Amino acid sequence: MNKTIQLQDLGLKDYKETWDYQEELFRDIVDSKIKNRKENISLPTKNHFLFVEHPHVYTLGKSGDISNLLVDEAQLKAKNAVFYKVNRGGDITYHGPGQIVGYPILDLDNFFTDIHKYLRFLEEMIILTLAEYGLKAERSPGETGVWLDVGTPFARKICAMGVRASRWVTMHGFALNVNANLGYFDLMIPCGIRGKAVTSLNIELAQKTVDENDVKEKLLKHFSILFEAEFF
């Protein structure tokens, strides 16, 4: 089992370009697994982890409802935003500047073959990271992602998640609001969940901006511990 993960920080990058790149890495791993099985060999498969920040974009998962996007194409254009239907799970979500997006493209055969556990580990990585900033983040029953003040009238989501997996290879991932412009969330019903607010780390900490590199370091630390992995 190969528990090393190649880390790449893509900076600010177009959503569709990044999606295509994810697909390329994903397909390479799947093809390697198929070849290994066909030839009855056990060569190690690769793992990747991409950090990225996207220009304003709304994406709708396979099971999503387009009515959860509250604006038309002209209004999107006026907001310098674009829209894509994508092949991950989940409903609608937003990505934009000030948000840390992470795409682990892993062969789970290298770690554990359990998608439920995989999602819970991603949530735990976020929860542990936010705890370092003094925030008590938690899961909301039946709602993937990470929240604050669950079970109260002030419940608010700080991290959205949606993944795709095939042959135990993952893609897509999580989006953590760090210095996000929350006004863009008003143009949709986040994750198709009505009546729940969205927040960002800088707002919770009452800071103008939070050091995103510091957040990334903490995320990687907790990810490597949870997955018993090593980045290079």
Q: What is the pLDDT of residue 90?
A: 79
Q: Among residues 150, 191, 201, 210, which one is catalytic?
A: 191
Q: Which residues of the chain have pLDDT under 50?
A: none
Domain 4-52+96-231 belongs in CATH node 3.40.50.300: no
Q: What is the pLDDT of residues 80-124, one digit of tens each?
A: 999 999 988 778 889 999 999 999 999 999 999 999 999 999 999
Q: Residue 174 annotated as binding?
A: yes
Q: What is the pLDDT of residue 192?
A: 55
Q: What is the pLDDT of residue 144?
A: 87
Q: Residue 167 annotated as binding?
A: no
Mark whether 191 is an active-site residue: yes
Q: What is the pLDDT of residue 188?
A: 87
Q: Residue 175 annotated as binding?
A: yes
**Buried b or exposed e, range 52-70, using 16+ CB within 10 angstroms:** bbbebbbbbbeebeeebbe
**Is the pTM value of this prediction over 0.85?**
yes
Q: What is the pLDDT of residue 194?
A: 61
Q: How far apart are CA 25 and CA 46, in angstroms?
A: 9
CB-CB contact of 137 with 148 (8 Å): yes
Q: What is the pLDDT of residue 193?
A: 61
Q: Residue 171 annotated as binding?
A: no
Q: What is the pLDDT of residue 191?
A: 59
Domain ranges for the chain, please list them.
Answer: 4-52+96-231
Q: What is the pLDDT of residue 81?
A: 95
Q: What is the pLDDT of residues 126-145, one digit of tens each?
A: 999 999 999 999 999 988 89
Provide the 10 A C-beta neighbour count for residue 154.
11
Q: What is the pLDDT of residue 195?
A: 62
Taking Cα atoms as reference points, which of 28, 208, 65, 199 lies closest to residue 126? Answer: 199
Q: Residue 28 annotated as binding?
A: no
Q: Residue 91 annotated as binding?
A: yes
